[in-house]
Amino acid sequence: MVIKYGDKMTESVSSKYSSSKYIKPPLLRFLLMIFFIFFLAICPLIDWPMGPAHLSWGAHILGWGLYVVFIVSSFYMVYIDNKRDKEAGEL
Partner 1 sequence: MNLQYGIIMLSYLVLMLAIGLYVSKRVKGLKDYWIAGGSQGAEVVGLSYTSTHVSGSSFMGAIGVTSFLGYNFLPVMAISAAAPWFSFQFLGERLRKVAERIGALTLPDIFEARYETSKIKLLVAMIFIVGFIPYLVAQLKGGATVFNVFLGVDYRYGLLIFGLIVVLYTVIGGMYAVMWTDLIQAIIMLVGFVILIPVALNFVGGFSSLNAQYGAIDPNLLKLTGVKPVMWIVTGIIFWSIFQMGGGIAPIVRFFAAKDTKTMRRAFIYAVCACSFIYGAYIVLAPAGLVMFPDNTNADMFIPLMIKELLPPLVGGILMGALLAAMMSTIDSVLLIIGSAASRDIFQKFIKPEAPEKTQLLVARVFTFIIGVVAIIIALNPPAVILWLTTFTWSINSAAFAIPLVATFWWRRATKMGAILGISTGAIVCFLWYFAGWTMYNAWNVWPLNIWPGVIGGAIGGLVLVVASYLTKPVSKETLDTFYT
Residues that bind partner 1 (CB under 8 A): 1-7, 9-10, 13-14, 17-18, 20-23, 25-26, 29-30, 33-34, 37-38, 40-45, 47-48, 50, 55-56, 59-60, 62-64, 66-67, 70-71, 73-75, 77-78, 81-82, 85, 91
The percent of the chain in helix, strand and coil, each rounded to the nearest 5, is 75, 0, 25
Burial class from Cβ neighbours inside 10 Å (0-12, 13-18, 19+) for residue 52 reads exposed
| DSSP at 53 | G
| DSSP at 24 | -
Q: Whose Cβ is closer to partner 1: residue 73's or residue 89's?
A: 73
Shortest distance, CB of residue 26 to partner 1, whole angstroms? 8
Shortest distance, CB of residue 89 to partner 1, whole angstroms? 13
